[in-house]
Amino acid sequence: MKQSIPLGAASLLAVFGVVAKAQPPLTLPHTEPLTWEERDLSARLMDGAHRFVERKISEAPARRSQFWARDFSSPEAYAKSIQPNRERFRTIIGAVDPRLPARMERFGDDTRPALVAETSRYRVHQVRWDVLEGFSGEGLLAQPNGAATGHVIALPDADQTPEQLMGLAPGLARESQVAWRLAENGFEVLVPALVSRQKLATDDKQLRASDQTHREWIYRQAFHMGRHVIGYEVQAVLAAADWFRRRYGDDAKIGICGFAESGLIAFYAAALEPGFSASLVSGYFGSRERVWAEPIYRNVWGLLREFGDAEIASLILPRALVVEHSAVPVVTGHKGEWRPSDSESVAAELKRVEAGPNFPRPILVAGEQGTTVGPFSDAALAAFTGHLGAANLKGLSGEIPLDRRASFDPAARNKRLVQEMENHVQMLVQQSDRIRDEFFLYKIMPELANSQWSTARRHPTHAPEKFIEGAKAFRRSFAEEAMGRFDEPYSPFNARTRKVAETEHWTAFDVVLDVWPEVFAWGVLVLPKDLKPGERRPVVVCQHGRNGVPRDTIDANNSAYNNFAGVLAERGFMAFAPHNLYRGEDRYRWLDRKANTIKATLFSFIIAQHDQILRWLETRPEVDASRIAFYGLSYGGETAVRVPTILEKYCLSICSGDFNQWTRKVAATDQPFSFMRTIEWEMPYWNLGRTFDYAEMSYLMVPRPFMVERGHLDRVGCDSWVAHEYAKVRWLYAQLGLADRTEIEFFQGGHSINGEGTFAFLHKHLNWPHRDRSKP
């Protein structure tokens, strides 16, 4: 292909009288001139996207009332009215698995006996209890020598240990060792261990560029499977509460308290479990509108659409909630940071709690003029235990408990806890194929489940209409529940263009379209020069990958793209190369993170931008709107199974350098090329592993043509994974009598556009004759 002429070179040639014929216009007809100075518009686009999502986050609190229908007429009516909210909250924190029957086990060996410590007032055992299949809670249980005053689950912060909270290990001030104090006052106290914030072992060579903490390690894999490190810890707490109720009856007074990270766990557990009589949340309460800036393992899908801390607190009412404004550890470098909330934020959020005319309001404990107290100050504990029947707690005695275990290592317990959570997630990963079939394919057409076992030499195909109709609901679910959709009308196009490149065969124009007030779509339209007036041609939308820009696909001579958009224009197709937002490394990851808080993703932007582009292309006189195809590489290949599957104006899609067993690619921990071990912390999408892998996404293309392009040496995955996932797609197309509309091409190459079988696929299904002008 000949070198394109940069804008401005043609006018220079004209000065010397070289140009003999009229030049194409500098703008497209029916558009305004694009006057922005920069040629790379990606930073401007990213800035606007961040402003947009921050505006949507700021609007969320005022819109939450649509999700609530509180009935304060009685405690029973209130509990019934908020139950749907409680179940939605349970779902988004991933605390959805049925728990195992309650069972508490005291365990030990010769060097680490089950009886950890004993005083004249109580005994302390190391215990574990069943939570889920393969996952147990673990910690310490202090039991009084006489009748218990009450029962409390006391949670240490993620960087503290149960031993410190029980007074068995140094590191905490005596007044903060709440489990020790409660035990001395006759309470039965269970102290679960939480997953540590510490970094993963640095000697794990498979971690590559990752810098994950233990909490992030579980968060990443669990989030993609509709689970969460928060959900697992809440489940462990709720399983412990199950044990208390089984042992002492449903009327037993059970309290829960936590500080900092465990304040979050205690808060969330109390919101889900009506059996807690009182809860004390120390150091964790306030405005959550910047939750996206907190450590990544606090990312909860769609949290801010329906829940701030005030709304979560309303799930606890009319039971007692004590909020203590205490100083918390500063956490930085966890793909987000956490610093203490100011007293005004805490008080303002508490004021937002809707308690009705008769329900008791949450109690705020703070120092004079809003200063911090505690954690677990006398005032906070008195308010908390008063609702458990013991308002007047004594101070700690001089009897100090001693740990009887030799060389006890809390890191080993943390390792067991992390490994058991990981094992549970990986079990979900292994089961996911079957779960997705039951969720999608066999729900639409249960007869397909049996047809796989036929022994007939020939089997009739099924009419596709039933599947096409049934897939509509799943397309909506994929768009709204998996990718996320912003509730915002599109702006008028306000199309602006400028010529940016030209060859003897085509002319390329920057195109900018408004999408929302802060967000625009940007791409490059490549028009063949032999386009005749009144002629309508097919368009191939050519999508770049990560950190790319539109021109990379046209004339940048990049070995991955091989100028495929420009080559297609030489074959007579029109090409449009959009810019997608995955440029700028962590800036787009933070954009995705912000969007997650309001049930949206990076693709919520991308889908809207493509929708606006398609709507604009339909208005162009040279475009055949019934023949607009999509072809993308790498992150563009990821786009190929997420955007055209939702936007049916795309008549076909080609996925290059990305098709995969996506669930394993994102969440499996046994593969060195998994995203679990790379910097791509934005790759987990909420519950996608149990709903839509690449086969299920591709099903949404039916009956439109779909193709996969795969290089044998492409390290994005392996041939066996790609072939397995594509075989499911090919099988469905065949069962529906559409086998001629899908293909896969393997080639002896790497992560690049091959442009052979895919070009033939485009010519065939876009009904465009082969006209390769790049060859003599």
Tokens of 688: 């996608």
For residue 8, pLDDT over 80 is answered with no
For residue 6, pLDDT over 70 is answered with no
Query: pLDDT (tens digit, 9 = 90+) per residue, 610-625?
Result: 999 999 999 999 999 9
pLDDT band at 14 (very low <50, low <70, confident <90, very high): very low
pLDDT at 25: 74
Query: pLDDT (tens digit, 9 = 90+) per residue, 299-329?
Result: 999 999 999 999 999 999 999 999 999 999 9
pLDDT at 11: 41
For residue 149, pLDDT over 90 is answered with yes
Instruction: Give the C-alpha distances (Å, rounded to integers) separating 111 from 97, 259, 407, 567.
Output: 35, 31, 8, 73
User: Which stretches of 190-256 are DSSP H helices?
Assistant: 214-224, 229-248
Run of H or E including 438 = helix 410-439
In sequence order, the 6+-apart residues with CB closer than 8 A to the CB of 342 are 286, 370
In sequence order, the 6+-apart residues with CB closer than 8 A to the CB of 565 are 524, 526, 540, 542, 553, 554, 575, 577
pLDDT at 439: 93
- Are the beta carbons of 45 and 581 closer than 8 angstroms? yes
CA distance 540 to 98: 48
The per-residue pLDDT of the chain, averaged, comes to: 93
pLDDT at 776: 44
Tokens of 668: 């499996």
Query: pLDDT (tens digit, 9 = 90+) per residue, 379-417?
Result: 999 999 999 999 889 999 989 999 999 889 999 999 999
Strand 32-33 and strand 496-502: the pairing is parallel
For residue 218, pLDDT over 80 is answered with yes
pTM of the model: 0.94
pLDDT at 205: 45
For residue 2, pLDDT over 80 is answered with no
Among 25-29, 261-265, 431-435, 531-535, the range scoring the smallest mean pLDDT is: 25-29
Query: pLDDT (tens digit, 9 = 90+) per residue, 354-366?
Result: 999 999 999 999 9
In 3D space, the residue among 618, 583, 582, 587 whose CA is nearest the CA of residue 603 turns out to be 582
Mean pLDDT over 269-279 rounds to 97
pLDDT at 340: 82
pLDDT at 695: 98
Query: pLDDT (tens digit, 9 = 90+) per residue, 91-117?
Result: 999 999 999 999 999 999 988 899 999
Query: pLDDT (tens digit, 9 = 90+) per residue, 488-529?
Result: 999 999 999 999 999 999 999 999 999 999 999 999 999 999
Query: pLDDT (tens digit, 9 = 90+) per residue, 625-674?
Result: 999 999 999 999 999 999 999 999 999 999 999 999 999 999 999 988 89
Mean pLDDT over 697-709 rounds to 98
In sequence order, the 6+-apart residues with CB closer than 8 A to the CB of 546 are 582, 583, 634, 635
In 3D space, the residue among 206, 226, 319 whose CA is nearest the CA of residue 267 turns out to be 319
Mean pLDDT over 541-545 rounds to 98
Tokens 């969440």 belong to residue: 667
pLDDT at 24: 60
pLDDT at 694: 98
pLDDT at 211: 84
Mean pLDDT over 17-29 rounds to 64
Query: pLDDT (tens digit, 9 = 90+) per residue, 449-471?
Result: 776 666 666 788 999 999 999 99
In sequence order, the 6+-apart residues with CB closer than 8 A to the CB of 241 are 153, 254, 256, 269, 273, 275, 276
Burial 504-516 (b: 16+ CB within 10 A, else e): ebbbbbbbbbbbb
- Are the beta carbons of 588 and 624 closer than 8 angstroms? no
Tokens 């911090």 belong to residue: 372
pLDDT at 636: 98
CA distance 600 to 292: 12
pLDDT at 447: 85
CA distance 660 to 718: 8
pLDDT at 671: 86
Mean pLDDT over 418-442 rounds to 96
